[in-house]
Structure 1
Amino acid sequence: MKLKKGDNVKVLIGKDKGKEGKILRVLPTLDRVLVEGVNKFKRHFKSKSGQEKSEIIEITKALKASKVAFVCPKCKKSARIGFIFKNDKKLRICKKCKAEV
């Protein structure tokens, strides 16, 4: 998976289409990413005893990695990520503007 924690991404499909956010967590085995402020759902919790209150909590669920696109910090456009080798180091680059990510 070419996406990393901290990358800015744009949602391509779904109810949050067009929204941008930062990746909080990457789940490579499930091919999913957790994006800040996107794909929120409300979860209802009942009280287990009579003294506790029941509550509604807002939860952010993970998105499929194919539903988001990387946003280049330099050109501010959605682009694909490429790799180059420079001085025996593998660097990530934006395929549109060729800037290091």
Structure 2
Amino acid sequence: MNKFKIKKNDMVLVLSGNDKDVKGSNGKYPAPHKVLKVLVKEQRAIVEGVNMVSKSTKPSAKHPQGGIIKQEAPIHISNLSLVDPKSGEPTRVAIKRTEDGKKVRIAKKSGEEIK
């Protein structure tokens, strides 16, 4: 089974696809998005507001009218990059052990621990 350095609730940047060029507030890099779910077997992640698709639904208790619903579709994990918590730039990730033996993720650019 594969392990990924991107987890649920991480802030990520989209590297390719239709949503890659959306500029953020700093103007240099796109706005980061929150990871809602990681699908490990499919090597994909569902990211908030990215890869939106229209889905037709029948009327149900949740959606009494039915109709067309916009929702996020999974995006391949290789098209995402973790955001450095210090600078807000895309970064690679290293895994290091602390003194008490616990594994933590470290941003390669700043050396900052990723929560």
TM superposition score normalised by structure 1 = 0.88
Aligned-partner Cα distance in 1 for 2:51–2:93 = 23
% identical equivalent positions:
36
Aligned residues: 98
TM-score, length-scaled by structure 2: 0.78
Q: Provide the C-alpha distance between the structure 1 equivalents of 2:5 and 2:77, rounded to a whole number of angstroms.
A: 10
RMSD of the TM alignment (CA)? 1.7
Gaps of 5+ in 2: 23-31
**What is the match of residue 94 of structure 1?**
107
Superposed CA offset, 1:27-76 (max 9, x none): 111110110011001112356xxxx7551111210100001111111121
Counterpart residue number, 1:77? 89
Long gaps (5+) in structure 1: none
Letter in 2 for 1:7: D
Write the distance in 2 (CA, Å) between the matches of 1:29 and 1:53: 34
Distance 1:54 1:22, change over 3 A: closer
